[in-house]
Structure 1
């Protein structure tokens, strides 16, 4: 669904580079998973990367295995699974891992727990997003303070995510940093020359239709129902407005039911999971996201890099990415009327589409490049290795 990382040569057991053990819930299709895939491939010239998966290998994990990367399934059990922590410790020892890089809170907890009382392997914790609803936990705060070591590093992918680590996890503000997510901006500018015509023909869209695209797994947190209501309202003013929904998931049946109930079959198409994101963006006029919870969505960065104006809910770190009316348009969560109004405004003004899209592209290049993200993590790895 998101852009795929290019295949590179994996590191192997004879590799003399420092070994980083990435720890993650699963390697299905999602933002954190895609970033891990990109990191282990793009950084393999400097680090030997191995991956410990707590819950499920997933399609990204299978591709990494097929390309020769080490991906270990730890079969985590519900609750505080000390056996999983022991398996993680043994896996890291087996591969000579010098650093854990934990993605999301539970992998962070398991990595800290794996050290026991005497272990010294440092942990770099990247929080990619927060559960919804997100609330402080006194119990977690106490545990975090007890298990955290001086050499550990704590990262939020945006300012809002960093603040949640402080407010809800009780982590020290002085130790919480921000490293913005990044994507390969050049890839998003490499759509096929015939993409706009070909993709529109594939889904039955006319050349003069105003097509919004929504790239997100079909999950309740993405709140596609609000997007459907927005299109239903927008078409009253702009009959040629269309929505292409890219992704798959548990909510597909509910989305299809609403499309039928609102008689939106001519206006909304479901594309399923796709790998040709650059082409899909090139065929579209705007990008729509209706989530109720986000971190720093890679899909918005991709849309901005492709010069598409973004219409989104103002949740999580999205207001850090978009300046209202300048590099995109924001609305409150579940406010389908505001989303519809922004889409209609863009549909009625090609000049506004161009100016907002251009500013979004500049923001993407300035703040959300893949090179910038990888360089930031590389510096952290080196500082942690030096300190150790």
Structure 2
């Protein structure tokens, strides 16, 4: 919809001082906000999958010109936007995603979370939380997990817990069945209170081929779970130098298997990295820091300099 008349009317009725748009609605919402007389427009881009189609890129370029501040959630994404969408570097800022470190904190709920899953304390658990979309490569994760189970020589064997929903859900369920992994792979659907489940995980994992700054990764790290994730988008910046050994190349199933096996086979190292992950989020990715950064952008206080939360 290139002319969003209903949205223009709604924004006029609300009469906001600032409109903040997000990925997927930028062109339409920015047009509506300007036509409704909104004086301040902020947009956050959460990540892009490869090269945009020329029509999408053109619409985003138009939207960028009428937006006061364009926010990227990682330095890597900012570089991508600067080369393709945002012509004026003065409008581009980086604000890192943040999470509530009090809500997502290491706790004592491991036993209860595992009872909910019907698993004992000895079972190694790989966990992942995300949208079941092609960009997340959950198909690769299941294929790699099948290889891990085949090579596993001790008991009990690992379990993979996947939390989420999306267009790939039916295909992932069929893939689990094709590999005879029913029971070994748990597809739990969506959960609102994910903090109650994270303590059950020994390792949090992502197999994505693109990420901005993954909130689910930040939540797991804040809860003290050791990460094993693909080296894409903002993941390297999230882990930092101290956890860089937990990154694996994108699209490499065997590297993923090796990284999982290394983490699950080294309880001391895994616990140390879980503690390091918690410290990393506390220092760099707190919710308070993100909120303060956006407050400055809403007020126009950061229009003349770089803003990185």
- Which band: TM-score by shorter chain? 0.7 to 0.9
Taking a change above 3 Å as real, the CA distance of residues 113 and 227 of structure 1, as seen in their structure-2 partners, is: same
Q: Give me the TM-score of the superposition, normalised by structure 2.
A: 0.87
Residue 225 (structure 2) pairs with residue 308 (structure 1): yes
Q: CA deviation at 1:383?
A: 1.9
Residue 213 (structure 2) pairs with residue 299 (structure 1): no
The residue that corresponds to 1:321 in the other structure is 238
One of 5, 9, 14 as aligned partner of 1:90: 9
Counterpart Cα distance in 2 of 1:344 and 1:359: 20
Q: CA deviation at 1:124?
A: 0.7
The residue that corresponds to 1:206 in the other structure is 120
**Per-residue CA distance 1:70-123 (angstroms, 9 max, x = gap):** xxxxxxx3xxx21x1x3333322222212211112x533224323668956221
**Aligned positions, number:** 301
One of 12, 18, 22 as aligned partner of 1:99: 18
Taking a change above 3 Å as real, the CA distance of residues 321 and 279 of structure 1, as seen in their structure-2 partners, is: same
5+ unaligned residues in a row in structure 1: which ranges?
A: 1-76
Counterpart Cα distance in 2 of 1:252 and 1:138: 29
Q: CA deviation at 1:186?
A: 0.6
Residue 53 (structure 2) pairs with residue 133 (structure 1): no
Residue 174 (structure 2) pairs with residue 260 (structure 1): no
Matches within 5 A, 1:264-275: 264-275=181-192
Q: Is the 8 A contact 1:145 1:170 kept in 2?
A: no
3-state SS of paired residue (2:161): strand
Higher relative contact order structure (alpha carbons within 8 Å, sequence separation ≥ 6): 2
Q: CA deviation at 1:198?
A: 2.6
Q: CA deviation at 1:260?
A: 1.8
The residue that corresponds to 1:110 in the other structure is 28
Q: CA deviation at 1:328?
A: 5.8
Q: CA deviation at 1:187?
A: 0.3
Q: CA deviation at 1:155?
A: 0.8
Q: Give me the TM-score of the superposition, normalised by structure 1.
A: 0.71
The residue that corresponds to 1:334 in the other structure is 251
Root-mean-square deviation (CA, aligned residues, Å) is: 2.7
The residue that corresponds to 1:361 in the other structure is 278
Counterpart Cα distance in 2 of 1:259 and 1:386: 50
One of 150, 160, 163 as aligned partner of 1:243: 160
**Per-residue CA distance 1:336-366 (angstroms, 9 max, x = gap):** 1111111110111111101211111111111
Q: CA deviation at 1:290?
A: 1.0
3-state SS of paired residue (2:97): coil
3-state SS of paired residue (1:287): strand
Taking a change above 3 Å as real, the CA distance of residues 204 and 383 of structure 1, as seen in their structure-2 partners, is: same
Q: Which one is further off, 340-349 or 227-236? A: 227-236
Q: CA deviation at 1:369?
A: 0.7
3-state SS of paired residue (1:375): helix
The residue that corresponds to 1:19 in the other structure is none
5+ unaligned residues in a row in structure 2: which ranges?
A: 305-309
Counterpart Cα distance in 1 of 2:168 and 2:56: 33
